[in-house]
Amino acid sequence: MDENLKIELGKQGIVVTTLQELYNWGRRSSVWPMNFGLACCAIEMIATTMARYDLARFGAEVFRPSPRQADLMIISGTVTKKMAPQVVRLYNQMAEPRYVIAMGACAISGGPFKQGYNVLKGIDRYIPVDVHIPGCPPRPEALLQAFIALQKKIDGQHLTGEDRPRFLDAEAQGEFPVPEQGEHDLVPTSNKGVWPIKIQGLGTRD
C-alpha cells in the first residue's frame, strides 16, 4: 500500500494496516529476553531493566528463566570456550523466531581478553547475531538503542517472499551445531553456515 495514501487516510481518521504490520507490531512490542548473564555486561543489562532506564517501556521487561519462553538472547559478557557450548545449546532450545543481541566488546570479538587462550573471539562464530553493541561495558542507553534497532529489524521482516527470515522458511534448518571441547580448542572452531559474516557490498569478513 502507498505510504502517502496511508498518511492521507490517517488524517481522515481511517487506520489502514496489513496483517504483516500487525504481526510485526505485536512481535516487536513483546520481545521476551532470556534471564541469562555472562559477565560484567550483565550488570548493565540488569540496570537497563530497572526503573531508571526501564526496558519495560519497549515491552521487554519479562525476562524468562527458560529458553522455551524467550525470544531474545542478550549475550552480555565474555564467552569463554568452556561456556560457548552451553550458550549455543540454549540458543538451540529457544523457540523460533529468536533473536540475539551481542552486548559488549567481549561478546562481539573477545574484547580485552581476545588474546586469552580460553576466550571465544565473538559469539557470532556459532550463532547468527542480529545486533552488535560495542563498549566495555556498553551503557544502558546503548542496550536500549540496540533493542530499538532490533525492533526496527523485526518491523521490516516479510511474512512471504524470497527475503523472508529464516524462521519462516520451512526448508531452513533450525539447529545450529553445538561445539565440543577438543584437545586445544572448540571443535569445530566456527559454524561455516554463519561465519565468516557476509556484509553486503563488502564481501566476507575474516
Applying CB under 8 A, the residues found at the interface with other proteins are 23, 66-68, 85-87, 89-90, 92-93, 96, 159, 167-170, 172-175, 178
Cis status of the peptide bond prior to 196, with omega within 30 of 0: yes
Q: Are 162 and 171 in contact (CB under 8 A)?
A: no
Closer by beta carbon to other proteins, 36 or else 113: 36
Closer by beta carbon to other proteins, 9 or else 178: 178
C-beta of 99: minimal distance to other proteins in Å? 15
Closer by beta carbon to other proteins, 17 or else 114: 17
36-40, long-range: CB < 8 A, 24+ apart: 36/73, 36/74, 36/76, 36/90, 37/76, 37/77, 38/75, 38/76, 38/77, 38/78, 38/79, 38/83, 38/87, 38/107, 39/76, 39/77, 39/78, 39/106, 40/77, 40/137
> Which uninterrupted H or E stretch holds 111?
none
C-beta of 5: minimal distance to other proteins in Å? 26
Q: Are 73 and 91 in contact (CB under 8 A)?
A: yes
C-beta of 46: minimal distance to other proteins in Å? 19
Closer by beta carbon to other proteins, 173 or else 200: 173
Closer by beta carbon to other proteins, 57 or else 166: 166
C-beta of 182: minimal distance to other proteins in Å? 16
C-beta of 168: minimal distance to other proteins in Å? 6
